[in-house]
């Protein structure tokens, strides 16, 4: 019965017109909460999209989830590798070797740039579909097609990132000259006594675009089988040190899997590192960026909270007589406070729902939203241009481009990823801020004395 009384009275106050501003105060409060939730939901979704796409490319292409490397650059025992492959949760174990090289085209007009040459075991990559889909930014093609596209089977054949097209003019079918910059030198299979730092020519079989510029600008892939025959160390033909990249079904199980692998390895001189070790600084920066963005955008809720506080405090002053009557008929101060707190909760809940739903819709159609906004703005610009050209002959206005346009940024589209837990957190924070503001505003109720109110009435 008490709860029904509180809810009934709160709804009456919520729907009743104010003496000063009518419905404007409640509507503005609801819109303020809705705008805050909408903005924070969309911004965090876009930020998640960028961050997760970068993280996915780094883990799938560059660092793997775990890496195994034996000290003294020796090969890891194959029986030990088989035991590791059989551990539940491990999906792929891919051998690779990596070194730096200078890259230029077989042309007098080509500039020289640095690159990272990664020699991989293509047969082992067959168990790693995430690599192919990430390196070609393709989710709709089957793995067999992508494996054929990653053509590094022939000797002296390589696959390069598409940004080499812009730096040195390299394209599919072009010939590149690679020169090692450390103690590894490149040479053709069968040639001996090639001095350190020798160069060799390689044919580009395919050009990839992962969407992550650092990879597309620096990475060159070749077959590990070919690399073992064409790469010498210290002027002698020695096998390169092999690192084994491990992919997991759940990348967040890396620490537990590391312990299992270390148990299998025992006292052998093999180091195990996780993706957290390789990318700690980068991922830490992304986390701080997200926290800072949430704090900055969350300031919207502080402003909205002040608006709700002032609105409800004004309502308390306007309802002094009614509060006195409620106290006179037996309503406790706590019940009357609950009425106003519930009204603040309604403002936060309604505004939060509107902002959350609209934010989720826009986040899931972010590129379409930008396209519609751009077309609408250009339509009005075109109308203004036509109107003004009547008075100014040849008058022209520049059209606007879509935010994050691929003509300006290295993007195929604006990525967006809504994490349901984060969206709920934003919603609950909005409801809490509105309810907290209502609680603070309702403290004036304790000053209302029924006898004085009724005397003056």
Q: Apex CA 60: angle with CA 271 and CA 179, to 5°? A: 75
Which are the contacts of 280, defined by CB distance < 8 A and separation ≥ 6?
Answer: none
- Exposure string of 340-370, with b = 16+ CB inside 10 Å and e = fewer, is bbbbbbbbbbbbbbbbbebbbebbeebeebb
Q: Is the dihedral of CA 132, 134, 136, 141 positive or negative?
A: positive
pLDDT in tens, the chain (457 residues): 456 656 666 666 665 545 444 456 677 778 888 888 898 888 888 888 888 888 888 888 888 999 988 877 667 888 888 888 889 999 988 888 888 888 888 666 667 888 888 888 888 888 888 888 888 887 666 777 888 888 888 888 899 988 887 788 888 888 888 876 655 544 444 444 444 444 577 888 889 888 888 888 889 998 877 776 556 555 555 667 788 999 998 888 888 999 999 889 888 888 888 888 877 777 778 788 878 877 877 777 777 777 777 777 776 666 666 666 666 666 676 777 777 788 788 888 888 899 999 999 998 888 888 888 888 887 787 777 777 776 766 667 777 666 666 666 677 778 888 888 888 888 888 888 888 888 887 776 655 555 555 555 5
Q: How many CB atoms lie within 10 A of CB 425?
A: 14
Which are the contacts of 9, defined by CB distance < 8 A and separation ≥ 6?
Answer: 326, 339
**Which tokens is 430 given?**
């909005």
The domain segmentation of the chain, as residue ranges, is 2-53+283-456, 90-248
Q: Apex CA 452: angle with CA 446 and CA 457, to 5°? A: 120
Q: How many CB atoms lie within 10 A of CB 109?
A: 8
Q: How many CB atoms lie within 10 A of CB 80?
A: 17
Q: How many CB atoms lie within 10 A of CB 411?
A: 16
């Amino acid at each position: 019965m008490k709860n029904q009384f509180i809810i009934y009275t709160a709804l009456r106050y919520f729907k009743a017109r104010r003496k000063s501003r009518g419905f404007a105060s409640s509507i503005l409060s609801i819109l303020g909460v809705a705008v805050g939730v909408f903005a924070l939901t969309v911004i965090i979704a876009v930020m998640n999209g960028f961050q997760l796409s970068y993280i996915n490319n780094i883990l799938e292409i560059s660092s793997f989830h775990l890496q195994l490397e034996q000290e003294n650059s020796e090969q890891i025992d194959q029986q030990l590798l088989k035991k590791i492959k059989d551990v539940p949760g491990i999906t792929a174990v891919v051998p690779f070797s990596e070194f730096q090289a200078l890259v230029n085209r077989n042309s007098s007009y080509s500039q020289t740039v640095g690159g990272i040459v990664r020699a991989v075991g293509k047969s082992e990559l067959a168990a790693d579909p995430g690599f192919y889909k990430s390196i070609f930014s393709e989710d709709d093609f089957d793995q067999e097609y992508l494996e054929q596209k990653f053509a590094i089977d022939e000797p002296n054949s390589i696959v390069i990132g598409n940004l080499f097209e812009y730096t040195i003019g390299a394209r599919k079918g072009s010939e590149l000259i690679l020169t090692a910059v450390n103690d590894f030198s490149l040479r053709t299979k069968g040639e001996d006594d090639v001095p350190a730092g020798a160069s060799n020519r390689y044919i580009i079989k395919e050009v990839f675009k992962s969407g992550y510029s650092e990879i597309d600008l620096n990475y060159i892939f070749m077959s590990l089988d070919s690399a073992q025959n064409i790469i010498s160390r210290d002027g002698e033909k020695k096998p390169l040190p092999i690192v084994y990249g491990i992919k997991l079904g759940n990348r967040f199980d890396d620490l537990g899997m590391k312990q299992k692998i270390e148990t299998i390895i025992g006292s052998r001189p093999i180091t195990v590192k996780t993706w957290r070790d390789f990318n700690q600084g980068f991922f830490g920066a992304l986390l701080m960026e997200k926290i800072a963005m949430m704090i900055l955008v969350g300031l919207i809720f502080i402003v909205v909270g002040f608006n709700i506080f002032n609105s409800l405090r004004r309502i308390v002053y306007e309802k002094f007589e009614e509060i006195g009557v409620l106290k006179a008929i037996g309503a406790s101060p706590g019940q009357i406070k609950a009425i106003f707190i519930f009204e603040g909760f309604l403002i936060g809940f309604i505004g939060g729902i509107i902002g959350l739903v609209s934010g989720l819709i826009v986040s899931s159609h972010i590129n379409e939203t930008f396209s519609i906004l751009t077309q609408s703005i250009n339509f009005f610009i075109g109308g203004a241009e036509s109107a003004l050209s009547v008075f100014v002959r040849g008058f022209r206005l520049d059209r606007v481009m879509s935010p994050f346009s691929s003509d300006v940024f290295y993007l195929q589209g604006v990525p967006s990823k809504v994490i349901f837990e984060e969206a709920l957190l934003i919603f609950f924070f909005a409801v809490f801020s509105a309810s907290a503001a209502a609680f603070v505003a309702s403290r004036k109720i304790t000053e209302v004395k029924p006898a004085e109110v009724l005397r003056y009435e």
